[in-house]
Each structure stands twice: as C-alpha cells, then as structure tokens.
Amino acid sequence: MASGNPSVSTRAPRPPGSRRRAWIIVGILSVAVLLLAGGYTVFWYQAGKQLIAGIEGWQAERRAEGWFVVYDSLSVGGYPFRFRVRLDNPVVGRPAAQTWSWRADSLDVAAPPWAPERLRYTAIDSHFTYNLRGLSRDILLSSPRVSGDVTLRHGAIDGLTAAAEKPLLDLITLPAPITANQFDLALRRPAEAGVTLDGSFAATALDGPLEALDKLGGTIDRLAADIQVTGPIPSDGKLKERVTAWRDGGGTIEAKKVHLAWGPLIADGDGTLTLDEMMRPLGAFATSLRGLSDFIDLLVKAGLVNNRAASGIRISVGLLAGRNAAGGVILPLNAQFGKLSIGPVVVAELPPLQLD
C-alpha cells in the first residue's frame, strides 16, 4: 500500500541577513568597478595631454635644429582602448641642409595604452622628396595611402614596416616614373656588427621606363629580396663623395632570397654587390631560373633579341647550367670590369653610375 504522506523539503532555511550581505557585496564590487573606470579615465586623459605636450616639445626641438615641422591641427582620440593621434596636413623636412622633406594630407598614429611602444600608423596622400645633387627634387616617392607598424625600444626605433598602395617613384635621371600596385618594406635594427641597414622589400606589378617592359607589353609581376647593407653611409657631402666613401669603407649590398617573377620567367638567387673604382657594379650572384626558354621566345618575338643571339644564349645555358631538384636552371651571374657575364659568356655592358 503506497504511503500518502506528503514529501517534506530538507532545504535549510536561508539565514536572516544573507540577502542583505549579497547586496552589500554587489554594491562593493560596483563601486570598485566605477572607481577603476574613473581612475582609468583620468589616467587616459592625463596621458593624452602629456602626449600632446611631448609632440609639441619634439616639434620645438626639431625647429631649434633647423628643421621645419608644421601641421594644421593636432588631436588625440581613441578612448578607451587606444591612444590615437591625428595630424592634419603635416610637413616635416630640413630646408637648411636641403636634404629631404615629407608631407601628407593626414597622419594617424595609434597605440594601446598597455603597449605604447607598438605603434600603428596611416598616412594619406604621402609625398617624400629627397635631394641628392643640390637640385630641388631628385627623388619623389608618393602614394595615396601608406600604413604600417613601428616598434620602439628604449625610445629608439627597433623595427618599421610600410605598405604603400600604388606607389610612384620619380627619379630625375629617368624619362618616366616607376610605378607598382603595392610596395611593402620592412626595416629592422641591425643585429650584426658592421651592418648599416637590414631589411626586406616586395613589389608587385612593377612598371617603368624600361625598353623590355614596353616591348613585352606587361609588368614585372613581383620583385622581392632581403637586403643587408654593410659599411658606413656618410650623411654629408655630394652624392658621388658619399657613395665613394661608402665603397672605400668596404660597403657592400648583400641580397638574399631575391625573387623575380616576370611573365614565364621565375628567378631566385643570392649574391653580393658593390662598386669598382670606376663606379661600375661589381658582384656575383647564384641564380635559379625557371621558364627561361619561354622567356627567350618572348624576347625574340618582341625584337629585343635576334634569333642568333637567342641560340647563343640557349647553347651557353646548356653548356654552363646545372639543374636543381625543382627543375630550375642554375646559373652563375658575374658583374666585373663593366660587363655582366653568365659564366665566361658576356651578355651585357655595365656602364658607370652617373653620380655627378
């Protein structure tokens, strides 16, 4: 026979003040959160004021050294998760030395408060000019948008990246500018003694005043390399004097992981380059080429190489080249005595650099 006794709850009754204690804890936590938020807000705005003061102080120091540093307006925003500094129409340069100048429509620099040494920047309509020969504009580098990162260590730049959209490089020595769809640059603080510059670059859809590009009707799909420059680079004097001092000081350019994609031709290699006593390129490269035969056919069709020269190149490659595991043709390239050679076969003349 089933029992008819009703079920009895065994839950202990809540102590008389427990609800009140819970509300007290919630209230304390709420006050703590409000105090932290308020303290952080005060910190953020005080740090923002110090940031503006620091920029204005740097501006005054550079002006005292003969620079010009101007902008239309300066503002700080980004609360609460970052500091974002915006400069409208900034212009920076050294008119006294007639060396370089940079300007943009706007410059935004941002960093999180917990990592102020990691900066992210964006420059709109950027224009950089550099003076090599005492002329008003020997080099112009412009881009509608440049963005990247800057890493600081002990107040100095430890690393820098830049991504330039549709850059244009205009050299006074060239009949037309060099353009690209994208140019990426990464610079690092040199870790090895004697290294002046350590970095890498990559460019896509390169075009410029090169006869081969005009006749082939295309662009260089990609050009990239890791670069190390050794030897001191003087900052004063005429261009030829500075380059001569760099060369005489043992200056070299070490190019590693060089990659060229141009139509059917894929080239990879490593090498070292400097200048001889007549300012001609001097160096050696080990290269691996794929698609060389198809590229030679294109050169013939474009009228850049005649059939006899093409046959000579193919014979030379067959005699001198090896093969790697990927099927690439391995060739030694040498620049010496004003000539570019594939092994013992001279393929081009290398004139001195015009630096006067």
Q: What is the pLDDT of residues 87-121, one digit of tens each?
A: 999 999 876 555 788 999 999 999 998 888 899 99
Q: What is the per-residue pLDDT for 115? A: 87
Backbone angles phi, psi at 334, to 5 degrees: -130, 135
* pTM beyond cutoff 0.85: no
Instruction: List the beta bridge partners of residue 182.
Output: 165, 204
Cα separation, 111 vs 80, whole angstroms: 11
> Which residue, 315, 195, 214, is CA-closest to 253?
195
Q: What is the per-residue pLDDT for 355? A: 74
How does DSSP classify residue 174? S
Residues of the chain scoring pLDDT < 50: 1-2
Q: Cα-Cα-Cα-Cα dihedral of 157, 163, 165, 170, to 10°? A: 50
Q: What is the per-residue pLDDT for 204? A: 97
Longest CA pairwise span in the chain (Å):
118
- 312-321 per-position pLDDT tens digit: 878 877 776 6
Q: What is the per-residue pLDDT for 200? A: 97
Amino acid at 149: D
Cα separation, 127 vs 133, whole angstroms: 19
Count of residues in the chain:
356
* Residue pair 261/220 in contact by the 8 Å Cβ criterion: yes
Q: What is the per-residue pLDDT for 127? A: 96
How does DSSP classify residue 207? B
324 Cβ contact partners less than 8 Å away, ≥ 6 residues apart: 288, 330
* Residue pair 205/221 in contact by the 8 Å Cβ criterion: yes
DSSP result, 322-345: EE-TTSPEEEEEEEETTEEEETTE
Q: What is the per-residue pLDDT for 11? A: 58
232: enclosing H helix or E strand: none
Rounded to 5°, the CA angle 262-263-266 comes to: 55
Cis check: omega of the bond before 80, within 30 degrees of 0: yes
Cα separation, 145 vs 235, whole angstroms: 28
Helices within the chain (DSSP H only): 18-64, 211-216, 239-248, 292-301, 307-320
Angle, helices 292-301/307-320, rounded to nearest 10 degrees: 170
* Residue pair 261/221 in contact by the 8 Å Cβ criterion: yes
Cα separation, 230 vs 284, whole angstroms: 16
Instruction: List the beta bridge partners of residue 122.
Output: 108, 147
